[in-house]
Structure 1
Amino acid sequence: MTSRVAATRYARALFDVARKESSDIQQVGRDLGEFSRLVAGNELLARTLSNPAIPVQRKRAVVEQLLARAGQISPVLSKLLLMLADRDRLALLPELSTAYESRLMENAQIVRAQVTTAIELPPERAAALQQGLVRATGRQVQLETRVDPSIIGGAVARIGSTVYDGSVTTQLQKVRERLAAGAAE
């Protein structure tokens, strides 16, 4: 099983248990993200928790100390973090945090759209594009914009595995293909 698949399963289980136990699923997500960033931001800590040569008991002790210092962390999340330490799966934390965030967004009917344009979008154009994507998907859209001058003009929007390509580069490529097909006849 790949680490991404395992992280997604842990995230789903955490989400389901947190919701079942009436925990604040948003707060669990924030706590998980903060814990994951804490570990990732400290190179020594990250190496310690992901090093297979370090005994599991020692990793659990480190996680217990971190949880004690953190204070108000959801019991559901605390149990998961200790279980990950016991199973030597703490290296999954970054992917688990990302998967949990995706699960939260899915639950809230929000999709993430990555939009690439040739130039920076003015705020009013970004808002109009976001509204168009809301109409196209029927969900709330969290817009992430990127600039890539190589698309010449237009925009490329990626929502999950669906790509809406309205770039000038793609349109020129299609014209080239039609011209080449017409010349071949």
Structure 2
Amino acid sequence: MKRDPLAFRYANALFNLAKERDQLKLVGEELQAVKDVFEKTNLLDEVFRHPSITNEEKKELLNKNFGTQVSGAVMNLLMLLVDRKRISKILAVADEYKRLSYQSQGVAEATIYTAKALTGDEKIAIKETFEKKTNQDEILLEEVVDPDVIGGFKIRIGDTVYDASVASKLKRIHNRMISGNASR
């Protein structure tokens, strides 16, 4: 995943502040809640990008909706983003903060694609295997059932994809046959 350098700078500053105050989890939860509200209500497109709405009106709206719900650090970030006309970066800032927080705790998010749903034992075995392979303390596994995988699995951890699917093996065999080099 390509990182947004500007969002990373804001997230990194907030991360360092939260870490200093021992509020990593709290700030992460608050940012996720703010992100959820922006995504579900379409506030960015309808209000915050509207040219006739002033920064003061935007700040008042944020204060009204989040003032008692989030910490001062998150509220200050929101106000700063409005002042600098970068409130549209809030979703990317939340994602970058989450990434930094997980990285500091040895946690990685992973998406696994399988042809059929995994059993509990299979999930545990895959998690343990990839925790060791990637030197992570914990892997948060999201499962996606994709019949195109045919069998096996494909797992994405950060920017790395491990492909042990039948579909990819068939594709490699097909490509070798087409190139006339089936001996590999």
Q: Deviations over 1:119-169 (max 9, x none)?
A: 111111111111111111110211111111112111111111211111111
Q: Which of 110, 114, 118 lines up with 1:117 in the alignment?
A: 114
Which residue of 2 is the match for residue 163 of structure 1? 161
2:110–2:140 CA contact under 8 A, matched in 1:
yes
1:36–1:93 CA contact under 8 A, matched in 2:
yes
C-alpha separation in 2, matches of 1:130 and 1:169: 22
Q: CA deviation at 1:36?
A: 2.3
Aligned 1:55-70 pairs, distance under 5 A: 55-68=54-67
The TM-score with structure 2 as length reference comes to 0.87
Q: What do you get for the CA RMSD once the two structures are aligned?
A: 2.3
Aligned 1:5-20 pairs, distance under 5 A: 5-20=5-20
The TM-score with structure 1 as length reference comes to 0.86
Residue identity opposite 1:146 in structure 2: V
Q: Secondary structure at the match of 2:51?
A: coil
Overall identity of the aligned pairs, in %? 28
1:23–1:74 CA contact under 8 A, matched in 2:
no
C-alpha separation in 1, matches of 2:59 and 2:133: 47
Which blocks of at least 5 consecutive residues in structure 2 are unaligned? none
Q: Deviations over 1:86-120 (max 9, x none)?
A: 12222222222111111111111111111111111
Q: CA deviation at 1:44?
A: 5.4
Structure 1 pair 27/183, CA: closer, same or farther in 2 (3 Å)? closer
Which blocks of at least 5 consecutive residues in structure 1 are unaligned? none
Structure 1 pair 59/16, CA: closer, same or farther in 2 (3 Å)? same
Q: CA deviation at 1:65?
A: 2.0
Residue identity opposite 1:151 in structure 2: V
